[in-house]
Amino acid sequence: MIRTIIKHTLVLIAASALLTLALPGRAEFSHEFLDSQPETVSRINGIYLNYRIVGEEKNPPVLMIMGLGASHLVWGDDMVTSLVDAGYRVVLFDNRDTGGTQCFDEFGQPVLWWNLTKNYFGLSVTTAYTLSDMVADAVGLLDELSISDAHIIGASLGGMIAQRMAARYPERSRSLVSMVRKIPCYRPSTANTLPRLFRVLSW
């Protein structure tokens, strides 16, 4: 069992490294193959969610969560096909306000600097939805596809969603790869933050 988990984790980390290494050199990834795959829009968690599935249904599932403002196509053909060729079934989707998933234009554009200032002083921010809502979208997609658990890969904001998903729903997460993410290092000024951070990340 442990050897199987290690094997899956190593394959996922290697595939993730392809994307990380390519980031500085290429602003855009080819997605001709992904464009050729069927696209579905379903009502999940109260919104219309756009997603694609690549690979055989019998294979272990991998849920890929992209970052802020980026379509699932940004993962690129090389990343996705490498996982499929390694024997995985890849599930990709667009987050809220991105790609073919429901947008929330009626709520207007939040003023970023003002909300950051309010958050700094512990005040409520103006938002149409939260990170927890986006976690619920990911879990809801697994429910829609009758997938009990999956390997989770997240990049940037997708990494934040993936980490919170693994922390809140460990039974739905076979493994976790969170990349292009920054976790604060220890400093005396952040000592009070560490226990809360570890509670969120422990699973």
Span of 83-92, 109-118, 167-176 with lowest mean pLDDT: 109-118
pLDDT for the residue numbered 126:
79
Domains and CATH numbers, the chain: 2-201 (3.40.50.1820)
Amino acid at 110: P
pLDDT for the residue numbered 21:
47
User: Cβ distance 62 to 14 under 8 Å?
Assistant: no
Place of tokens 């060729």: 85
pLDDT for the residue numbered 9:
54
Is pLDDT larger for residue 21 or for residue 36?
A: 36
Span of 44-53, 109-118, 159-168 with lowest mean pLDDT: 109-118
pLDDT for the residue numbered 17:
54
User: Cβ distance 89 to 62 under 8 Å?
Assistant: yes
pLDDT for the residue numbered 174:
96
In angstroms, how far is CA 21 from the centroid of its own chain?
18
**Model confidence over 117-131: pLDDT tens digits?**
888 888 888 788 999
Question: In a 10 Å sphere around its CB, with 0-12 CB exposed, 13-18 middle and 19+ buried, how is residue 93 labelled?
Answer: buried
The size of the chain, in residues, is 203
The pLDDT confidence band at residue 12, using thresholds 50, 70 and 90, is low
Q: For residue 13, what are the contacts with CB-CB under 8 A and spacing of at least 6? A: 177
CA atoms of 40 and 150, how far apart (whole Å): 19
Read off φ and ψ for residue 140, nearest 5 degrees: -65, -35
**Model confidence over 80-108: pLDDT tens digits?**
999 999 999 999 999 999 999 999 988 77
pLDDT of residue 6 exceeding 50: yes
Reference 139, options 93, 70, 83; nearest CA is: 93
CA atoms of 40 and 49, how far apart (whole Å): 8
